[in-house]
Every structure is written in C-alpha cells, then in structure tokens.
Structure 1
C-alpha cells in the first residue's frame, strides 16, 4: 500500500469509530470512502446493525456486497452520521467535492446529516479552495449555455468526458469542471453558479462538514469546527 492509500486507510479506520448500532449512516463515494465502507462491512460481520444510505450506484454495489442494509434518502427525515471523502478542504472545513461525479446525492445527504465526518489524505488540505476545479452538474441540454455563463463569471468550464463521450452522473446529467483559480469567496461563487439556469448542483460544500479526519505519514490529524 502506497503512502496516499495508507493515509486514506488510516482516516477511514478512525472515522468508523463514530458508527454505532441503530444509526442511519450516509455512505460517501470515492476512493477514500471505499475504505470506510469496507471497514463498516467488517463491523457488520461482528454484529453492528445500521441502516445506510448510499450516495452513488458504485457505493450501493459495494455496500450490498458487504451485507449492509440500505434505505433511500427519501425514506428518512434525518441521517445520524455520514462518512464521505473530499477533493480538497480548507481551514474553515469548506470543501470541493464531486470528482467522482456523485455530488448531487452527496450534497442531499450532507444537508440532512446531523454529523458529517470527512476523511482525506494529506494532499487534500489547501490554504485556499480552487486547486481542484469545481464540478458543476448540469442538465444535458443546457451544457453549452452553462459553459458560456461560467466563462462570463471569470471561470473556465471544461465538459467532463469519459472514453470519448460525455460523462454521465447516476441521474444522467453532465458535469462541467469549472476552474476559477483560487476562490477567495466560495459563497459568492456558489450562489452565482446556482443561479445559472440548468445547473442542478455545484461541488462547493460550504458549512456542511463537522469534522475532517486527515491521514498523514505520522498518523491522524483531526480538524473540527
């Protein structure tokens, strides 16, 4: 296991200590969340009983294979705990997410979560958001329009492709990865993106994380609000 994978694994091992029997647990998407879900699967074998809400078809498949009981986000009023990864985070625990393409459901789950625990390797910590481009999920028929509007806001929008075709989210929307450089005011950028017709969701997750657990080569570092 290389250093980055080891850091992700350490963060995941620490995060699952928050999981308790009887909880409704949100399961994130991505390479770091994968380790946490695998650990929860081992806890299920030892008697843990939870109901879990996956944030993507990929996560759903993994959770089912581990015997984790699943429910829909529409079946609950609140989620006790969510463990998810991030593409980057700053000192205010604001995040950019959506590199895996699951930002819509990830944000919905985060909105109704009582405790959002984010896990990350040490490469994800930044002084100012914007090293990672902001994923913007859009309705397919609006993609060129939204791309132009992003340009008018001072950004550069790149339509995400996969194997020569438009990348499709689980909801069959497209994603534009928007580069604004260093983001001095993420709240302003988020509001402006949300006001563009055709935008379904953007990858700025502001004031949603309660804890960030970061794995490092020296162990765990925890950031809390």
Structure 2
C-alpha cells in the first residue's frame, strides 16, 4: 500500500496545479488514474476544464467521473498533460508503455505545452534502462520486426538483448490500436533520443516507449501522503530519499 499511497499523493498534488479554463491531457496507468480522480473532485467543486485521454481506459474512467472530454483533433494544443512513467531520469527523459498505451500517451504529450509526470520514488532513476523498453509493433510480420529491432540494438552497442512479444498468460498483449507490444531488455539506456529515432525507422515499428526529455516537471508522491514538484536537472538520489 505504501507505493499506492505515494501515487495517490502525487495525483492529488498534480490536480491542485490545474487552472481554470485549461485544456488537460489525461495520462494512463495507476498514477494518472489517481490524478483523474482528484481532478474530477475539483471539477465537482467548480473547476472548468476540458480534457483529452491517453487511453480507452482513461477515457472510460473520466466519463464515469463526469470529467468533460474533447477529442484532441478538435483542439489546437493542450495546456498541460499529466501522466505517469515506468522510469524517469534527471533530464526528464522517460520510459513509458508498461500499460501498453505508449502511442496515445506520446501523442497527448507531444501536443501539450508542458508535461507533468506523477510518480512514486521508485520510478526515479539515474539512468534509464532497467525497465524493459516497450515498443509497439504491427501484428503483420511481427517476428521479422523483432529480429530487426534486435539487429539494430546490436549495431548500436547492445549485445544479446532479449527482445520478446509481451504476453498475458498464453495471449499477446493488444494495444488500443490493435497492435502488439514488444519489450527490449536493455539494462542501460544512455542515448534515448538517438535510439528513439532509430527504432521508428524500422518498418513494422509503430512507436516506442522512449520519451526523450519530455517531462517539464516531476511530481513525486510519498507514502506519508506528501508530494513535491521537482524540475529537470534534479538529483535522482536526493529525490528518491525525499530531500528535494
């Protein structure tokens, strides 16, 4: 429950930063869903906002809670999006996609004036890569796409990287776009932008879970119910122990 309490605290803090009249991107995953719940409470108290969701699950939750939704295509730009991360580094780079929603999440984040990331301390890292990198691929010839991903990683300096289609029991994980998720077990990722660009050049790759330097601020929740906002350039060790 301690990690869950930290996520709740981060979500509540993020919701407190939303201003009247803003257009808000709603991320996906447990931390983002706590933000949506906290935002719905503020809307019930009179906050006037419109929102665009980053997954079908977030859309469903927002509708259940009475959060007003507008399709992103109908807006010029979102003022802010709030989303979680599987890992986040000091420069604001992230690995996302543990919940298989990376494509929608990246579309929402890219079309927002700023992105706030809500996390518990365990998601703050010095260097990305311990969390397997999610890559969304088309079902057609996915086996060949996996081979091509592995070949690219080898050319870029990784050796014997495990690249595998994500499964739930005996069935493949299917994204909101009816695609597969492939996970690459990198270990360390020091040049996220370079790898993100290279992966997207592979036919069959739809998008990848590297969000290079995209976070404008990180809201770190704590198990005691407190939360704080840190800007890119933070010290990961200090943030994890709560001294920032």
TM over 0.5: yes
Report what 2:46 is aligned to: 47
Question: Does 2:201 match 1:202?
Answer: no
1:216 Cα offset (Å): 2.6
Native 8 Å contact 1:150 1:156 kept in 2: no
Question: Does 2:179 match 1:166?
Answer: no
Which has the larger strand fraction?
1
Gaps of 5+ in 2: 155-160, 233-244
Report what 1:222 is aligned to: 229
Report what 1:62 is aligned to: 61
Distance in 1 (alpha carbons) for counterparts of 2:70 and 2:131: 32
Q: What is the 5 A alignment of 1:1-225?
A: 2-152=1-151, 153-154=153-154, 155-217=161-223, 219-225=226-232
Total equivalences in the alignment: 224
Q: Deviations over 1:55-108 (max 9, x none)?
A: 111000100001111111211110011110000101111000011111001000
Report what 2:241 is aligned to: none
Distance in 2 (alpha carbons) for counterparts of 1:23 and 1:199: 33
Gaps of 5+ in 1: none
1:163 Cα offset (Å): 3.7
1:142 Cα offset (Å): 3.1
1:36 Cα offset (Å): 0.5
Q: Secondary structure at the match of 2:141?
A: helix
User: Cα 1:221–1:45, aligned 2, differ >3 Å: closer, same or farther?
Assistant: closer
Q: Secondary structure at the match of 2:114?
A: strand
Distance in 2 (alpha carbons) for counterparts of 1:195 and 1:10: 39
Q: Deviations over 1:160-195 (max 9, x none)?
A: 112411111111011101112111211222122111
Q: TM-score, normalised by structure 1?
A: 0.96
Q: CA RMSD in A?
A: 1.2
Q: TM-score, normalised by structure 2?
A: 0.88
Q: Secondary structure at the match of 2:207?
A: strand
Distance in 2 (alpha carbons) for counterparts of 1:172 and 1:24: 28
Q: List, as ranges, runs of 4+ consecutive aligned residues in structure 1 with deviation greater than 6 Å.
A: none
